[in-house]
Amino acid sequence: MMYYQQSLVCPHCQHGNRVEKVSALVARSTTTGMSYGWTVGHAGRQRFHGNTVAWSRHQTVLARMLAPPRRPLPLVGCGAGVAVSLLVLTFLCSLSEAATMLAQANVEVFLLCVAFALFPVVLLVLLIRSVRASALASQRAWLEWQRQLQKWQALYYCHRCGGTFIPGSGVFVPASATHVFLTQP
């Protein structure tokens, strides 16, 4: 445990002998690991067995309360990538079928294949429009996360009082309200 005795003083108790940086406290109180094992069991009338690999992450209650803000997930980008790949594949298959039907001089089926090939194009246009509309919201969420993370990185914890503070701000927050404090501008 690293304490900053001289330079930092808790605004609540006016002591500095039990003050620790929140990021250091969370890192010290969080463990991750991997374990290997052998599993035997039953599922209905079926018996199964096999190797298992388990990842685990353990945190103290205090570390969980003081954990950094969660990073926003770019789900729109991931979904758009999968959707575009599937739409391009559907488009190419439809065009291939249309070319085959045109070569066989089956005009009705050819027109149906062309219409089916246009369907992915329309979906792609709608997808691009929705990604553009949600890009601004994603950017705002990303900027808010960065603001909260920067604020979190400046936090210190007083073990005497059980709360967090930013040096020089004069604001003291109980540990249980740290995440609410981070969301405030």
pLDDT digits (tens, 9 = 90+) for 139-184: 888 999 999 999 999 999 999 999 999 998 889 999 999 999 999 9
Q: What are 174's strand-pairing partners?
A: 163
The answer to whether position 157 is within a domain reads yes
Q: Cα(102)–Cα(119) distance, rounded to whole angstroms?
A: 19
The answer to whether position 115 is within a domain reads yes
Q: Residue 100's domain spans which residues?
A: 1-31+74-185
| Number of CB atoms found within 10 A of residue 25's CB | 22
Contact criterion met (CB below 8 Å) for 172 and 161: yes
The answer to whether position 25 is within a domain reads yes
Q: Cα(24)–Cα(41) distance, rounded to whole angstroms?
A: 42
Q: What is the pLDDT of residues 109-143, one digit of tens each?
A: 667 766 776 777 777 777 777 777 777 788 888 99
Q: What is the pLDDT of residues 42-85, one digit of tens each?
A: 777 778 777 777 788 888 999 999 999 999 876 555 566 666 67
Both tokens of 131, joined, read 């990604």
Taking 50 as the threshold, does the pLDDT of residue 5 lie above it?
no
The answer to whether position 111 is within a domain reads yes
The answer to whether position 92 is within a domain reads yes
Q: What is the pLDDT of residue 155?
A: 95
For the chain, the domain total comes to: 1
The answer to whether position 46 is within a domain reads no
Sort 113 into a burial class: Cβ within 10 Å, 0-12 / 13-18 / 19+. buried
Per-residue CA distances from 144 to 13, 106, 138, 149 (Å):
31, 57, 10, 9
Q: CA 142 from chain center: how many Å?
A: 11
Contact criterion met (CB below 8 Å) for 164 and 173: yes
The answer to whether position 4 is within a domain reads yes
Alpha helices in the chain (DSSP H): 22-28, 61-65, 75-103, 107-153, 178-183
The answer to whether position 140 is within a domain reads yes
